[in-house]
Structure 1
Amino acid sequence: MSSGNEYNYVEGPALDVFESLGYEVFDANLVDEFPDNRKKLSDVVLRNRLRGAIERINPWISENNLNKAVKEIVNVDGVTSMRINKKVHGKLVKHNVSLKQDRGRGKKHQTVKYVDFEDPEKNEFLVLSQFEVAGLNETIKPDIVVFLNGIPVGVIECKSPTITDPKKKAIDQLLRYQNNRNGIKEGAEKLFYYNQLSVASWGDKSIYGTYQTPKSEYTEWKVHEDKTKEKIKNELGKENLKSQDILLYSLFEKKRFLDFLRNFTVFRDKGQDLVKMVARYQQYRAVKKALNRIKKRNKSDKQGGVVWHTQGSGKSLSMLFLSLKLRRIKDDPTILLVTDRQALDRQIKSTFEQCGFPNPKRAKSIEDLRRKLKNNTGQTITTLVHKFQEKDEEERFPVLSGDKDIYVMVDEAHRTQYKLLANNMREALPNAFYIGFTGTPIEKNKRNTRRTFGNYIDTYTIDQSIEDGVTLEIFYQGRLADLHLDGVDLDKVFNRVFQDKTEEEKKEIRKRYAQQQDLSEAPRRIDNIVLDILDHFEQKISDPFKGMIVTTSRRAAVTYKEKMDKYNGPESAVVISGDHNDSQKLKKYTPTDEGKERIKDRFKDSSSDLKFLIVCDMLLTGFDAPIAQVMYLDKPLKEHNLLQAIARVNRPFEDKNYGLIIDYYGVSDNLKEALYKFSEEDIKRCMTGLEDEEVVSRLEAAHRKSKSFFKGKKIDNSEGCVEELEDEQRRIEFNKAYKNFSKMMDILLPSKKATPYLKDLEKLGEIYTRAKNRYRDDSMNLEGAGEKVRGIIKEHITTKGIETINEEPVSITDGEEFENKIEELKNNKSKLKEMEHALRYETNVRFDEDPVFYKSLQKKIERLIEIYKKRRLEEKKVIKEFKSMIKAIRTREQEAKKKGLSDSTELAIYNTLDESLSIDQKELKEISKEITKKIEEEKTVDWKKKVSVQKDMRKGLKLYLYQKPEVNLNKDEMNHLINKIIKLARTHY
């Protein structure tokens, strides 16, 4: 069962939403049995419900084929669990199961449908709470499981909003359920063979992913496209909407869930690597709006529009989802995917192919593109815009197709859609519907993305992306201004070297050979920059994060590589394109296409020693490596090229708080110019200066908040401050504030502007760690605080003799060690608090070992504390009572022997029987021994996962107890007692 807060705040309200959506709901808190007809706990498909749905959706099916159709879902095999998941999705969505049956015209293959996508009400939607599933090594009990026609398609893990870091706890539990942690088989993997959506919810906020979604990619669902919040409130009967309500309503409303399953879920297959992806809310919203624009298209209006989603928010997938939907709702639409670079053309075709999109074709030449557009309909074609070229003899580009069902999607629409090639494309396809996808739209007199394509279909700004956690905030720092070459001194040198030349000749030499690029590539300048990069990387960037160095030319990239090696820097690799006329030196460092792929894979791998990529033009667009945290920029990028480049470091990764741009070229003015088209609201967190007033102000605010929990106390007094954190909710709030302070320190360190706060960081770290240990608060953690900050805290606390951040609190059963720890405390109040929380912790974690014994201890603790708080009992007397309780916990085995029992297991059974039966101690002891013996005889290997063994055990225990005349229990009382005994057996064996 869920805890009270968890059920009241999260699980119960979630079940209410499902009930409002028309689902059949079974709440474990309200009903005793589920309608699951399972033979064993490892069965996850509800077979009877699956059979009923197949019969309802396929009324023609014979009994024999019905059995086969059920087996097709229940017994799915595959090399990996993700391959199985993909197979299941195919059976549900693509109807790729066919069975031979005579329907009056001889035996033919008949398609079996497991889901009716056209009529949602023909399907059965069911929700079960606390659904128990046996895995390889443990039995799990997810809070909520969603079934579609008896198939478990959704898992929701609920956490109380009153605990610390409910997000981390919920996602960690979902990932553990899914089976693999550090190579150890855990959880119940089979449940997730069928999983389409996984949700982590803590009431105030809910986030979702799908099977094997990385922790950092779970995201919130912010809006509902079709209905206002007021309408949703009315439908759900709620006064206020929380994140959980919006997410569940948006994703699990029957029609939308089926749409999501069918059109917004894809598998990206890269050979050995198979990744499942589902749409984010901005992608779903953009597709819905684009389809609505298509539906309302009018010849007098511009045929199209712009989807402006900031860099890193998944534009390519939006194009894929829109294409999938168009193929579904239109008769043979032609889809043309246009890019302006070979790499992007290859990439987008590869993305569509890897995600299972049917037969995308790449235009190989100008003639091939014309042929495909002229003669074929219903194709999906990828092409470069450059293939819309005119022949010499043609005055005007020819019309290739007047079809209206041609949909042109232009990736990076801000770059090449304003000149002759783009005009040719519109001449060739005059009635097509054009959609531009961009992360950096342009709005200038001559080049204007919106004027070219039409008004915005959907926008998703930089700040929205950061707020959603889809991208990270980027910080900017200009460095080494003093290394720029002095123009006056250079002129003196130049005039002296070329004094024999005329002024005209000098002018020409300057024009050809003394451009800013040539000056910036001076080896001595690069020498100094590389030394600075290495110092900065060592001080600022922690494992496993990596960096990119962007240079002015291929030649400069090679120079950087040589200097990195000269100064024993971490492993680096050059990624540049090659040319037949290249020098031997350039050829030496130019990787092959296969080599580039290997380098990219190694860079993305956190276990690889490759720490730096050195590039010129390549990998500045379309290259996603979340592990990249810093870009060292030594290139005069402008406009969209600059914005796209810096977005390489804005992808989320575990423990990554921000992206960082170190500017050696001086592009800040270019950045301002590039950002001018955005509103101030859109870009307030785009490339903030690393030491800007705003950042320091945020640090100051976080520092004040962290200290505000200890008003009237100096934080040097760590004992007094720890006492201030006794209240759980106060600890939760302090934990949040302290983590935010740590994060801001991580961003600023090792800047001198962070130095004044270091001592307080150390002192607050000591308070944090002591509170974690005293209150046995495992939910307190420093995730996201940054390696540097953790290092500072750990080092400081070690020197003070306090447990380090990774040590567990000392258990009261550790005898001498615990006694020593208590004696180290300076006053009785501290000793009392330490013992109280140690006892609370032990009685909680050991409760299931002997509920009767530990429940009595818990009541005694509460009674003592209540009396103490009313000042009717001295601290010394409470401490004495606590010591006697600690002794009782430590001497459980001796207590068992005193009663004539063999061990603490028999003692736990004895206590349970004693609570339920009114018989003398001698008889009670004999019954306890006999029950223990019977359990040990019945239990087999993995007996806890075998329902049949447990049934036999229950039956045997009941028969034995009914034969004892002194055991005078009715049927319900007997069942209740047997349940307690079986639960004890599951704990002890």
Structure 2
Amino acid sequence: STRWETGKSMLVCIDKITCGRMYQRIEPRWKAKIAQLKSSIAQLEVRQVANTDTDEKERATKQVQSLKGRLAWMESTIIEIIISEAQKEIQDFQKWGIDIIPHRVVMKTGFQTADGKRVKVDDAFKDPQHQFRIAIVCAMWLTGFDVECLSTLYIDKPMKAHTLMQAIARANRVYPGKECGVIVDYNGVLTSLRKALAEYALGDEDDGDDGSEIVEPIEDLVRSLVQAIEAAEDHLRQLGFEPSRLLGAKGFARIEALRDAVDALYVSDEGKRRYEIMARQVFARFKALLMERSSYAYAGRHDDIEAIYKKLEEKRDNADVTEVLKELHKIVNEAIRTQQPGEDHAEGLTVDLSQIDFEKLRDEFAKKVRRKHAALQDIRDVVETKLQQMLGRNPLMMDYYRRYLEIVADYNREKDRVTVEQTFAELVKLANSLDAEQRRATEEGLSDDEYVLFQLLFKDSMTKGEREKLKQASRSLLVSLRELLQRMPAWTQNSQTQAEVKVLVLDNLWQSLPRPPFTEQETQQLADRVYDYVWQRSASGISWGAEAGA
């Protein structure tokens, strides 16, 4: 279960003594689970070191990271009793072998923070980041106490009417990332819940409905889950992938099947989007049945759908965008690596991407790459990431972005083999153009930020001397802007500071632009253009620090 990732939990007991007894039962089992996790991690790490298969090693690494995350969560989690104080409670709890004193101290004084301060228990429980994650209660906090990040409510106490309604509402508060609250019923409150819903949700109107179907029967929920799973699987089949290949598959066979599933989904953007919507529907319905044993029969199919979904969600990290062409070479090599040498082996791909022969590269792609749609999507991710980074600093890159959208639109209209191969070549050409564009700043002897200003101010038919003066004007303007904007981080929100920036740009250009070729009217127009760029960049949160163009 991944329930531990979803938020905080509350256990409702029948009385105060039972709260103490439940704490005594939970604590040793919690420690035993921690020991079990440590043992599992140690075993996996041994297998991870011994494994020579790259894919299996990567899979083991992810398992270790997941278990370590769970272990860290369990070791840091605070479980505490929250009950009202009563006379002779120390003696009453001692009769059951329970020391209530340390718990009472926490209830009164709260938890100590890293800086030595104290935080109240109710504030700590409301804070999603605080380690107080499990509260054991019997009456307190059941009404009038909102904890939006509370996701699971365990009920082991008879409740009815408004008390039951309000208690259940604790877990159903809206919170980012929480699709629904989970109620785990140990006491059979369903009948009471139906009565309470009939009374409080339907009011006094007598429409012949006794409220018996307000809570959806488990059988209907299971049926809805199966329908959602079948819809997602049918969608995969329509795209050419048989989902049963993943059932029980392990090792390389599973990795290969996942790659084929992803490749099928990348046939079109619409097919991928539809699958993602269907998969999220499966996740929501499975989560609603997380504590219901009848849903376990469908856990494997759910996990396979989730595995494909996660593969789609993985994003390629391109921190060094100047190496995009090398990354493309890596993508193609990865895409044509296969289990059996000879079928689509990578050794034939010998194209030097620093001097691309696009026709040869397209031919290699057509002959050697087996999962063409997935390889194409990887390249799209690289190009799109690069474009977003460049557009953030340079609005004049919009022509490149329009070209990218045209390539994608053509690809989505036609899915035949020739179109896929042509799209590959077009995207590689575009990536090469982007790389060349980024090199121009260095060729001009300017930083990235200076080059953007240079482009905004540039005028055709300039002499070499005028170009050099324009470069100096760009450098001078950038220095002035940085000095001013560093003192005014929120300048876009104030009309006075906006006017100050506008005046600085205009004054700087009046003094630094060469005349000729620039006229007074052109200077005013260029000042407006530069100001619009500066405002847009600042409003987008892109830094104007000294290293911004480095």
TM bucket, shorter chain: 0.5 to 0.7
Among 790, 809, 821, the residue aligned to 2:331: 821
Distance apart, 1:923 and its partner CA: 4.4
Unaligned 5+ runs, structure 1: 1-537, 773-802
Distance apart, 1:758 and its partner CA: 3.9
Separation (CA, whole Å) in 2 of partners of 1:686 and 1:603:
31
Partner of 1:723: 266
The answer to whether the 8 Å contact 2:228/2:278 transfers is yes
**What whole-Å deviation, never above 9, does each CA across 1:707-765 have from its counterpart, x for those lacking one?**
465424225532443324424xx655544433232222222236444345444444444
Partner of 2:219: 693
In the superposition, relative to structure 1, how do residues 872 and 955 fare at CA in structure 2: closer, same or farther (>3 Å)?
farther
Q: Which amino acid aligns with 1:579?
A: Q
Q: Which amino acid aligns with 2:79?
A: E
**What whole-Å deviation, never above 9, does each CA across 1:752-798 have from its counterpart, x for those lacking one?**
443454444444445434544xxxxxxxxxxxxxxxxxxxxxxxxxx
Partner of 2:108: 595
State whether structure 2 residue 389 is matched by structure 1 residue 845.
yes
The answer to whether the 8 Å contact 1:572/1:610 transfers is yes
Separation (CA, whole Å) in 2 of partners of 1:921 and 1:708:
65
Separation (CA, whole Å) in 1 of partners of 2:457 and 2:463:
10
Give the alignment of 1:565-604 within 5 angstroms. 565-568=27-30, 571-579=79-87, 583-585=91-93, 589=100, 591=104, 595=108, 598-604=120-126
Larger radius of gyration: 1
Partner of 1:111: none
Partner of 2:516: 965
Separation (CA, whole Å) in 2 of partners of 1:637 and 1:735:
40
State whether structure 2 residue 13 is matched by structure 1 residue 545.
no
**Matched residue SS, 1:846:** helix
Partner of 1:955: 507
Distance apart, 1:705 and its partner CA: 4.4
Give the alignment of 1:634-645 within 5 angstroms. 634-645=156-167
Q: Which amino acid aligns with 2:224?
A: R
Separation (CA, whole Å) in 1 of partners of 2:472 and 2:167:
74
**What whole-Å deviation, never above 9, does each CA across 1:261-304 have from its counterpart, x for those lacking one?**
xxxxxxxxxxxxxxxxxxxxxxxxxxxxxxxxxxxxxxxxxxxx
Q: TM-score, normalised by structure 2?
A: 0.61
The answer to whether the 8 Å contact 1:550/1:631 transfers is no
**What whole-Å deviation, never above 9, does each CA across 1:98-139 have from its counterpart, x for those lacking one?**
xxxxxxxxxxxxxxxxxxxxxxxxxxxxxxxxxxxxxxxxxx
Give the alignment of 1:599-678 within 5 angstroms. 599-677=121-199
Partner of 1:745: 286
State whether structure 2 residue 526 is matched by structure 1 residue 977.
yes
Separation (CA, whole Å) in 1 of partners of 2:309 and 2:173:
30
The answer to whether the 8 Å contact 1:896/1:904 transfers is yes
Unaligned 5+ runs, structure 2: 32-77, 111-119, 203-207, 244-256, 337-364, 367-371, 492-496, 538-547
**Matched residue SS, 2:5:** coil
**Matched residue SS, 2:154:** strand
Q: TM-score, normalised by structure 1?
A: 0.36
Of structures 1 and 2, the one scoring higher in RCO (CA 8 A, sep 6+) is 2
Among 883, 890, 894, the residue aligned to 2:435: 890
The answer to whether the 8 Å contact 1:638/1:671 transfers is yes
Among 916, 926, 931, the residue aligned to 2:468: 926
**Matched residue SS, 2:295:** helix
Distance apart, 1:693 and its partner CA: 1.4
Distance apart, 1:934 and its partner CA: 2.6
Distance apart, 1:931 and its partner CA: 1.6
Distance apart, 1:550 and its partner CA: 1.7
Separation (CA, whole Å) in 1 of partners of 2:304 and 2:3:
22
Instruction: Report the number of matched residues.
Output: 408
Give the alignment of 1:738-817 within 5 angstroms. 738-749=279-290, 751-772=292-313, 803=314, 808=317, 812-815=321-324, 816-817=326-327
**What whole-Å deviation, never above 9, does each CA across 1:243-272 have from its counterpart, x for those lacking one?**
xxxxxxxxxxxxxxxxxxxxxxxxxxxxxx
Identity %: 17
Separation (CA, whole Å) in 2 of partners of 1:768 and 1:554:
45
**Matched residue SS, 2:142:** coil
**What whole-Å deviation, never above 9, does each CA across 1:826-885 have from its counterpart, x for those lacking one?**
454434454345324422431253444x23434544566677778998765654454343
Q: Which amino acid aligns with 2:83?
A: V
Distance apart, 1:919 and its partner CA: 1.7
The answer to whether the 8 Å contact 1:575/1:596 transfers is no
The answer to whether the 8 Å contact 1:564/1:572 transfers is no
The answer to whether the 8 Å contact 1:624/1:648 transfers is yes
The answer to whether the 8 Å contact 2:12/2:136 transfers is yes
Distance apart, 1:954 and its partner CA: 1.4
Give the alignment of 1:937-952 within 5 angstroms. 937-939=479-481, 940-942=483-485, 945=491, 946-947=497-498, 948-952=500-504
Among 563, 573, 580, the residue aligned to 2:25: 563
Which structure carries more strand by proportion?
Answer: 1
Give the alignment of 1:50-129 within 5 angstroms. none
Partner of 2:240: 713
**What whole-Å deviation, never above 9, does each CA across 1:507-563 have from its counterpart, x for those lacking one?**
xxxxxxxxxxxxxxxxxxxxxxxxxxxxxxx77443531122321x33433333333
Q: Which amino acid aligns with 1:901?
A: G
Q: Which amino acid aligns with 1:589?
A: I
The answer to whether the 8 Å contact 1:625/1:651 transfers is yes
Distance apart, 1:573 and its partner CA: 0.9
In the superposition, relative to structure 1, how do residues 634 and 752 fare at CA in structure 2: closer, same or farther (>3 Å)?
closer
In the superposition, relative to structure 1, how do residues 671 and 762 fare at CA in structure 2: closer, same or farther (>3 Å)?
closer
**Matched residue SS, 1:666:** coil
